[in-house]
Homo-oligomer: A and B are copies of this chain.
């Protein structure tokens, strides 16, 4: 029997307890797995697992029968402290906590390695979508050239409502909150922080070196308006919040931003709370992973897959990266840019961007898509427009993917 402790009896934690304790793994694994202790400050008298709950972490740490700890508390404190202590005590740790992995993953994986246990985090990116393990194992024969992903279901739900139903950002956010898809304070989602932590984890894994999420250029979806959505439609695109990273020599270019994706792009049709991650490998070309990026059972299922993997593989081939990844701000590839300026800035914009496809040229505004151009060059020219015509002359700008 493998005994497991779960830290945090919230949505994901309770899902993991249900899957583990209600399923019989003995046939598949040769022995069964059971959750024997749950850490939470609350009491759960109505839950069939209420009797497993303790508020004292030390009773878990000192319980030698527990070999695997599932951490689904979220946040860095006390999750960091509990994880470190568990690993040092020779227990493997499985987590869904992207903030902790993106912040302290390098140290925690090294402690795990030094103590012959595992630190695994399949559930930290893409919820129920298998992505960490495929990156580490299935695509091991490839050099990962770039990754593009819809990594946050809340923003994708909001954008889908705007695209499909013509809801404004504010209305769509409200509906997402009413449905429980967005939190009361939606900042981490709509400002791109959550997606940023996830692309940092994927970048670190695929490059083998730690990329600091706090250094990644991140723009959320709060500036996207219904007008942008309609202009995107005119050029056959959907707007999505995209996390991307690319290998550039020894460095990594990474960013999170809204991107206009042509309908033919497989990410373009990913709707609602679904996530999808497109990985480009040197041998395999484009491979996409698609599914529910959040939710109790999908995320818990990824947590439990890690637990099973530890039992099955004794921790061989666990995810790992070293310290010292280098970020570059410079996108190595040419991009196209959708730019929307006030009519008063048209002449300046038209002079700076000579070759463009015009989407709208009205008394109010001048909207166009540039030819392929270096991202930095486009940004410089946009700064020039602002310089000449004033702070509010550029209404919006969004990368257009090919």
Contact = CB atoms under 8 A, between A and B. Distances in A.
Interface string A262-273: 001010011100
Given A23-B141, A130-B138, A141-B19, A284 B313 contact: no
B291 A286 contact: yes
Given A298-B285, A301-B281, A309 B137 contact: yes
Nearest to A287: B291
Query: For the complex formed by this chain, how many copies does it contain in all?
Result: 2
Contacts of A295: 285
A289 B292 contact: no
A292 B286 contact: yes
Contacts of A122: 138
Contacts of A287: 128-130, 289-292
Contact of A305 (B140, B288, B289, B297): B140
Nearest to A16: B141
A23 to B, nearest CB: 7
Contacts of A282: 297
Contacts of A140: 28, 304-305, 308-309, 312
A304 B133 CA distance: 16
Interface residues of A, number: 51
Contacts of A305: 137-141
A87 interface: no
Find the residue from A19, A281, A288 having the highest chain B CB count within 10 A.
Answer: A288
Nearest to A27: B208
Interface in A277-322: 281-292, 295, 297-298, 300-305, 307-309, 312-314, 316-317
Contacts of A19: 141, 283
Given A137-B309, A317-B313, A288 B288 contact: yes
- 7 pairs of A and B residues whose beta carbons are closest in the complex: A130-B138, A141-B304, A283-B301, A128-B284, A287-B291, A288-B290, A283-B297
Given A23-B141, A264-B271, 16 more contacts: A122-B138, A128-B285, A130-B130, A130-B138, A137-B309, A140-B305, A140-B309, A283-B297, A284-B297, A285-B298, A286-B290, A287-B289, A312-B316, A313-B316, A313-B317, A314-B316
29 contacts: A15-B283, A19-B283, A23-B141, A128-B284, A129-B284, A130-B130, A133-B133, A133-B138, A134-B138, A137-B308, A137-B309, A140-B305, A140-B312, A141-B303, A141-B305, A142-B301, A266-B290, A269-B269, A284-B298, A284-B302, A285-B291, A287-B289, A287-B292, A288-B288, A288-B289, A288-B290, A289-B290, A309-B317, A316-B316
